Chain A
Amino acid sequence: MRFLFSRLVHGIFLLIGISVLAFLLFALAPGDYVSEIRLNPQISPETLVALRHQYGFDDSIAVRYAHWLGAALHGDFGFSFAYNVPVTRLLGDRVANTLLLTLPATLLAWLVAIPIGVISAAKQNRWEDRAVSLGNTTLLITPDLLISLSFLWFALRTGYFPVGSMTSLGYEEMRWPEKLKDIALHAAIPITVLVLSIVPVLIRHIRATMVETLQSPFVRAARAHGIPRGRLLFRHVFPAALNPLISLLGLSIANLLGAALITEIVMSWPGLGPLLLESVLARDLYVVIGAVLVSTLLLQAGVFISDLLLFASDPRIRTKSAG
């Protein structure tokens, strides 16, 4: 209980800190939402002045932050200047779409990384390990953007996959199984790109932890007792190496969120990424703050889940926390 409470307090302070930082960075950035409207020769200077006043650009950043924080405490995270709708409404659908990519991608990445990392550790310095290492290095040095564009080119040339968006035209007329298939087809490339962006890091960590654990005295003892290799690796060594990997889960979600922003933009996936980019360029302050806070929340949720798993899996942590 105390653990949950401390996590909650920590999370609230982090959110406030991030919001202050985001506001300050925005204050330092030149230009504001009406800057681009100025280029429209049909809009008079009086209208621009009125718009600036309406959006509160005449107030200092401290006053604007105080107003925003006061409203946010009542659940109002501000209005989008561009869309003229509450930020929460704008972000709701996008968060769900981003999670539709990142959750399966996280799951798949771990499912792929665990056996490869374990085998790579078990076959240390042999051709299997070297092949995995080569693949990993290649993926690590290839920018996510290039991977996305290569898959797009593949989709365009073969026609096997759609070249963007989340659903096809005519999606609404489809029946449920067709709808699921349609979304799965659209998500296939972005999820693959996300998996490829995170898998090398996971494999390296799993391999390193496994190699370290394999050198433990209990493994030598287990080998001496004649426990079969596969059973030894997955039933004894892997659980023992689990703690650092569970901590990595939270960080892998952060990594994925970062990668998802780029992938969503390239693949026209209607998630947080395109909205965040558009809002930053348009200086749509409250949308940016909202999107940043949502990303922080998702990251915190990932870290929190990994903490809970750690708490459940390691009796030492439970004892320390109780003490």
Chain B
Amino acid sequence: MCALKLKVRSILGLGVIALQLACAWAIVPPQPVRPGEELALSTAQSGKYGGRLAIALRSEPKTFNPVTLVDGSSREITGRLNADLIHINRATQNTEPALAKSWKVSKDGLRYTLQLRRGVRFSDGAPFDADDVVFSFAVYLDEKLHSPQRDLLVVGDKPIAVTKVDAYTVAFQLAQPYAAAERIFDNIAILPRHLLLKTYEQGKIGEAWSISAIASEMAGLGPFRLKEYLPGQRATIERNPYYWKIDKEKKRLPYLDEITFLFVPSEDAQVIRFQSGETDLISRMSADNYAVLERDQQARAFHMNDLGPGLEYNFLFFNLNSVLPKGAGSVAAKQDWFRKVEFRRAISAAIDRDSITKLVYRGRATSLVTHVNPANKLWLNPNVRLAPRSADKAREMLRTAGFSWKQDGTLVSASGAPVEFSILTSSSNAQRSQIATIIQDDLKQIGIKAQVVPLEFRSLLDRVFQTHEYEAAVLGLGGGDVDPNPQMNVWLSTGSNHLWNLGENKPATPWEAEIDGLMKQQLSTLKVPARKRLYDRVQQLVADNLPIICLASPNILVGAKNKVGNFNPSILDPYVLWNADELFLQ
């Protein structure tokens, strides 16, 4: 009798496990739209439900916690699991309502009052309201957590004050007017208070939602929710059945059942996976790989898109740091040349940017005169133009600056020292190494001997940021947004990314002082045309004084299988999945 009971129990137990497994892998249907839900309307083409999309990521996500994440892969996945109050539409580059259906700005530009959508639910079915918003911002602004998002939410050295007006209204008080303040809200994920309040009170929110978290204990307001994470292999996200967007036919988005992110550590391997049909989308590839895939697109039923230049800009810069390490006497001596604007202009004039775009990027890049490239239509100063490359002009500038040439063509300074310096570059970035080699060749034509020194990336950063043991370097910076504000740390003389002269207490030159003033002024100027004029002047000053010699901006190259509907890639990150809720399989 006892044995029989045990058998029945074990059979029942197995049945329950099987049922649980079956439920775990069942497709989650979208919930029907309920009366009173204030849903957002998608203007994209209506699609059909079903299917799984696969895409490769270069590295694994490090966390699913939006509060602590800093890496791109985590952002790529958690961006699909969460939603923000106001969102930057990657196609139009303008802000649009998200969880906030509308907002009002006070006349002095200091108070933003946001109206939240009613009837919205988290991916676990719990309702969303103003308490979640207030809680989320309290977490991001908590100094103890060191959330990278906190820096965005500190305006005029004071954190934004967030107060609940009523269950669906939240007010944000700024210490000073902040231009394009709506853009701050983009990518600030709203957290589920009902799940995380206790963890936060215990001081453990930094450890929450790590890669070992249980999917069912997480919830967000994004179009998808986490289904499974296999270390080293892949993460799968599934439809959030309560998502707050509908299409023109009143069907609740997203269309896809699942998206799988495969972890494929090299670009070449990603291309192979795409070619073999294992992945449906591909982004961020070199022009060489793009050419390989372009040849295959007819035969393998996919299409490739060249979106034009992205926001990344590659540049050459010299060590202008006033504080140098002991024993760096040779750098100090060369800084006399580097500090002469004529010298930097001559170097810029000698560099053949067209060769860089043709040889390094197979023509899939744009030559740059400043850090703002033509893709940034809203902020580009069209009057700042790139002069054609001219070795003669470069020689003339050098002569004016007191340099001369020896019989053998070697450029020498006024003191008779041969002009030679090293250019550091990242050994893991083939394109930048090639750029440095082209520059080396160009400078040879005007008598300058440049040595290219490829270094492991962190070693390079250590030299630039910590020890300042370098003479010149080729680096690249990007931006998540077209707006000038994210660039503050680069252009302010006290900024952490003011690469050429870090740790300045006050501007080293009058033009840097002017840039400081202009950048601070544009930050608090609310009228766009006035801001544009200020930023135009910044671009002019950068082009005239060349603290960084901008070189090229690579194009954003992407691809998708022909069956992927509503594929509308953008030059803003995330390039291909920004409208994951609207993608569908035909």
Contacts and interface: CB of A to CB of B under 8 A. Distances in A.
Given A38-B461, A42-B480, A43-B151, A82 B232 contact: no
Given A93-B232, A270-B231, 6 more contacts: A41-B477, A165-B264, A169-B52, A169-B278, A173-B25, A269-B232
Interface stretch (B62-70, B128-136, B389-397): B62-70
Nearest to A166: B233
Contacts of A29: 458-459
Interface in B477-535: 477, 479-480, 486-490, 495-497
B210 A43 contact: no
Contacts of B230: 167, 270
B212 A89 contact: yes
A270 B232 contact: yes
Nearest to B480: A42
A94 B233 CA distance: 10
A38 B475 CA distance: 13
A277 B428 CA distance: 13
B125 interface: no
Interface string B273-307: 10110100000000000000000000000000000
A44 B269 CA distance: 35
B489 A268 contact: no
B146 to A, nearest CB: 5
Interface string A165-184: 11101001100000000000
A97 interface: yes
B178 to A, nearest CB: 14
Contacts of B466: 30-31, 35
Interface in B449-489: 456-459, 461-463, 465-467, 477, 479-480, 486-489
A166 B234 CA distance: 10
Interface in A1-44: 29-32, 35-44
Q: Which of A84, A97, A155 has the most CB of B within 10 A?
A: A84
B152 interface: yes
A269 B263 CA distance: 10
Nearest to B231: A93
Contacts of A30: 458-459, 462-463, 466-467
Contacts of B428: 281
Nearest to A269: B232
A170 B423 CA distance: 49
11 contacts: A38-B465, A41-B479, A41-B489, A47-B148, A48-B496, A83-B210, A84-B210, A165-B233, A167-B233, A278-B59, A281-B428
Contacts of B105: none
B265 A274 contact: yes
B486 A41 contact: yes
B260 interface: yes
B76 interface: no
A265 B272 contact: no
A207 interface: no
A84 B63 contact: yes
B420 interface: no
B324 interface: no
A266 interface: yes
A51 B145 CA distance: 9
A204 interface: no
Contacts of A39: 461, 477, 497
Contacts of B152: 42
Contacts of B278: 162-164, 169
Interface in A233-273: 265-266, 268-271
B292 to A, nearest CB: 12
A278 B62 CA distance: 11
A163 B279 CA distance: 11
B148 A40 contact: yes
Interface of A: 29-32, 35-45, 47-48, 50-51, 54, 82-85, 89-90, 93-94, 97, 152, 155-156, 159, 162-167, 169, 172-173, 265-266, 268-271, 274-275, 277-278, 281, 283
A270 B459 contact: no
Q: Which of B24, B63, B467 has the most CB of A within 10 A?
A: B63
Q: Is the interface of B mostly helix, strand, loop or mixed?
A: mixed
A44 B489 contact: yes
B215 interface: no
Interface in B36-84: 52, 54, 59-60, 62-63, 65, 68, 70-71
Q: Which of A29, A97, A165, A270 has the most CB of B within 10 A?
A: A165
Given A84-B63, A84-B68, A90-B231, A165 B262 contact: yes
B276 A44 contact: no
Contacts of B354: none
Contacts of A51: 146
Given A85-B212, A165-B233, A31 B273 contact: no
A275 B263 CA distance: 11
Nearest to B485: A42
Contacts of B273: 163-164
B373 to A, nearest CB: 16
A123 B430 CA distance: 50
A169 B228 contact: no
B458 A84 contact: no
Going nearest first, the 4 A-B pairs with the smallest beta carbon separation are A270-B232, A31-B458, A30-B462, A31-B462
Contacts of B68: 84
A41 B263 CA distance: 26
B312 to A, nearest CB: 11
A94 B148 contact: no
Contacts of A265: 265-266
A84 B207 contact: yes
Q: Which of B233, B266, B459, B495 has the most CB of A within 10 A?
A: B233
Interface in B200-251: 206-207, 210-212, 228, 230-234
A94 B232 contact: yes
